[in-house]
Structure formats: C-alpha cells, structure tokens
Amino acid sequence: MLKMGVLSLSVLLGALACTTVDILMLDTSLRPQTSPQSIRLIAQEPTRPFAVVAIVSAHGDMETARQRLIKEAARLGGHAVLLDNSSLTRIPDRESTEQQITGKVIVFTDSSGVN
C-alpha cells in the first residue's frame, strides 16, 4: 500500500515537472489571488470592460497545461483567460502529446457580474 502511494506521488510530481509556464506581465499591479474555480476560459472578448494584465503560456500534456494556465491566472488575480485561434499549438521536437496553450489573463474593470 505504501509503495503504491509513493509511486502515485512520484507520477504526479513527474507530470507537474513536465509542465512549464511562461508569463509576460503587462500590468505589474498587485492583485489578490482569485480562486482557480472562478477562472473562465473564454474565446470571445467580453462585453464588460476589462484589462489584459498578462500573457501566459503553459506547456505540457493538454489537461495539465490547461490546469496550469488556470492556476497561474488565479495567482495573478485574473478573472478569465481570453483564448484566440492561435492559443493552442503543438510543441515541435518534443513528445507528440505536448501542447502549448497561450492566453491573455484579464481582469474586469467594472463591478458588474454580467459578462
């Protein structure tokens, strides 16, 4: 039983180590962190006023990269990640399952709850 727990932990740590993140800060204002569960991935610019605070790229397998993108957006105090048609790319010269997801971390600049 202990051996299985150690193996599972090492697999998890290995998966996390394979995911890298690049962040380009566009606005260095300090913001309180948001909950990763509150971060929305959106494909169209919202109708609410917003500001782009960073561009974040996460590399790794698809699900891990997506989760890491959300985690970094929350750490930066973002409300959503704006994706576009060039947000998803395959990393050349690496394993075929490795992807790069790039998005704009945005914060809403009004107090409305409507998108």
What tens-digit pLDDT sequence spans the chain (115 residues)?
A: 445 444 444 444 444 455 789 999 999 999 999 999 999 999 999 999 999 999 999 998 889 999 999 999 999 999 999 998 878 777 666 555 688 999 999 999 987 665 6
CA 61 to chain centre: 13
Domain boundaries, the chain: 20-108
Architecture of domain 20-108: 2-Layer Sandwich (3.30)
By C-alpha distance, which of 57, 61, 58, 59 is closest to 11? 61
The reported pLDDT for the residue numbered 6 is 46
The reported pLDDT for the residue numbered 113 is 61
Kindly give, in sequence order, each residue whose CB lies less than 8 Å from that of residue 27, ignoring residues fewer than 6 positions away: 51, 52, 53, 54
